[in-house]
Amino acid sequence: MLSLVTEQFEKIALRTDPTLAIRLLASIPDPIFQRLQRMRFRHTLKIAAKAPFYVEQFAKRGIDIRKIRQPADLGDFYTSGDDLQKYGAEAFLTGRAETAFETTGTAGSETKSVFFSNRELDEMGRTSALGLYQLGLRREDVIVSAFDVSFWVSPSVLRTALQYLGCFHVEAGKIPPDEFYERARRYRPNVIFGEPSWVARFSEVAAKRGTWPMKFLFAGGENINEATRRQIEEIWDARVFMNYGQTESFGVIGCECSAQQGYNRNELNFYFETVDTKPDGEGELVFTTLTREVMPLIRYRSTDVTRLLDDPCECGLFAKRIAKIKGRVDEMIVCGMGNISPWVFAEMLRGVPQASDEWQVRVWHEDRIDVVELKVETSTPQNGHSPDALGAAVKENLRTRFPDFWKNLEMKLYDLRIKPVTNDSLRTTRKLKRIVALDEPPVDSIPEVHIIKETSRVNGHVNGNGSSLKKAVWKVDQG
């Protein structure tokens, strides 16, 4: 009964003006808010239990949903991206879908469809509007968005949110930064939305061609490294705020506030947990949707590694937080270098002038040793930055910032190869996979000077065109 009253209160609060809505929501005591979450969870579970995927899984595990009070009661039951791929989104459907979006997938993985109703889109837009209002967005602001409109959820959520705030809004789509600069400038936007890597490139263009007054820039869709953020902020003399979300979550899981210390989590629409949690609280973020009726997700493994922060944020907002994302579960690997994940390399590149934020690591085993190859797009390859200077700067950062990894390098537990590459050569899909583990040495990785190349036929293998399959055999020239 109390939860139902709270739910009505929350609904009314969300329909008032944003300042009042935030005040009203903040006034709900924590225990009562948690009861509201549990009520929504049980409602979601009841709906989900009709979908073929959950029917099968709950039966297999002997889960009686009448006995489940909170997500943890489901024991080791989780839903994953692999499940979505294997069973198909249709196996998760419980209501009539009115729209669908797709996950990007990094190179090599397939996209997944996720279905929604317009009501769900509307609810998400309303909550997002509060987050943006909290950052200072107002009716008089002019927004141009460079979010990629192709099958991606973010532009729709943004459009719905802005409807509530009443801002002027132009959707440019993800077009080349210099074209955007030319065409967006006539509207004099004072708030710009885009993916972090795109915003960084756009800001480089603006640094050369001239800036104008900006309230803030808003980036989402991937992580940003702090050095890049500071560079963008200096160029515009404005803050860069980050959003954290996934297509599966329908956009906003959490939004940064003025403190830029993690994401204020959206607990109106999600229940958060972590799994495989280390003693320091770090683990894989798991979320359960609380207000979705078309394709509810129960304990969905985000593959993102982070911590749940329950202490109050310095900005004073009532919402609890998700710490900055450390990396993806499948990008954290153990090799001769140590236990590595993307933030390690971001840190090695921090402060290296010729390095851009576009980089990728490949790891493989070769001649009884692990090879860690770091490819970095260099912003100004011809301006006197030699590959040696880049390598020296990165290695110096490794030595001073990661003494353990440095020691392993000195002990020859791994080989570190740092390679500058040209701009726009690494990113093949919207998301750049930062660390790729390879089963065997890639043919393009071995420096020409060190090898003799022999090409031989592989016996018995013929490819689809009927021509013989050739495999390059590489031999290290010891001479």
Which residues would be at the binding site for Zn ion (CB under 5 A)?
A: 257, 259, 313, 315, 317
Least distance in Å: CB of 446 to Zn ion? 48
Asked if residue 12 lies in contact with residue 259, where contact means CB atoms within 8 angstroms, the answer is no
Least distance in Å: CB of 256 to Zn ion? 8
Q: Which is nearer to Zn ion, 87 or 318 (CB)?
A: 318
Least distance in Å: CB of 311 to Zn ion? 11
Least distance in Å: CB of 385 to Zn ion? 38
Q: Could you tell me the two tokens for 467?
A: 């021509």
Short-list 252, 342, 358, CA closest to 306: 342
Q: Which is nearer to Zn ion, 307 or 385 (CB)?
A: 307
Residue 100 CA to residue 83 CA, distance in Å, equals 18
Q: Which is nearer to Zn ion, 319 or 363 (CB)?
A: 319
Asked if residue 175 lies in contact with residue 144, where contact means CB atoms within 8 angstroms, the answer is no
Least distance in Å: CB of 304 to Zn ion? 19
Q: Which is nearer to Zn ion, 309 or 438 (CB)?
A: 309
**The pairing of beta strand 239-246 with beta strand 216-219:** parallel
Q: Which is nearer to Zn ion, 91 or 315 (CB)?
A: 315
Least distance in Å: CB of 312 to Zn ion? 8
Q: Which is nearer to Zn ion, 259 or 369 (CB)?
A: 259
DSSP-assigned letters across all residues of 338-366: EEE-HHHHHHHHTT-TTEEEEEEEEEEEE
Least distance in Å: CB of 210 to Zn ion? 33
Least distance in Å: CB of 317 to Zn ion? 5
Q: Which is nearer to Zn ion, 240 or 435 (CB)?
A: 240
Asked if residue 162 lies in contact with residue 169, where contact means CB atoms within 8 angstroms, the answer is yes
Q: Which is nearer to Zn ion, 313 or 393 (CB)?
A: 313
Q: Which is nearer to Zn ion, 23 or 475 (CB)?
A: 23
**The pairing of beta strand 369-378 with beta strand 355-366:** antiparallel
Q: Which is nearer to Zn ion, 317 or 346 (CB)?
A: 317
Least distance in Å: CB of 264 to Zn ion? 6
What stretch of H or E contains 46? helix 30-48
Asked if residue 468 lies in contact with residue 462, where contact means CB atoms within 8 angstroms, the answer is yes
Residue 23 CA to residue 18 CA, distance in Å, equals 9
Amino acid 110 reads: E
Least distance in Å: CB of 26 to Zn ion? 12
DSSP-assigned letters across all residues of 79-124: B-HHHHHHH-GGGG--S---EEEE----TTS---EEEE-HHHHHHH
Using a CB cutoff of 8 Å and minimum separation of 24, what contacts does 210-217 make?
A: 211/235, 211/236, 211/237, 212/185, 212/188, 214/189, 214/190, 214/238, 215/136, 215/137, 215/141, 215/190, 215/191, 216/135, 216/136, 216/191, 216/240, 216/241, 217/191, 217/192, 217/193, 217/241
Asked if residue 255 lies in contact with residue 243, where contact means CB atoms within 8 angstroms, the answer is yes
Least distance in Å: CB of 192 to Zn ion? 22
Q: Please name the residues in contact with 142: beta carbons below 8 A apart, sequence gap of 6 or more.
A: 167, 168, 187, 188, 189, 190, 191
Q: Which is nearer to Zn ion, 22 or 352 (CB)?
A: 22
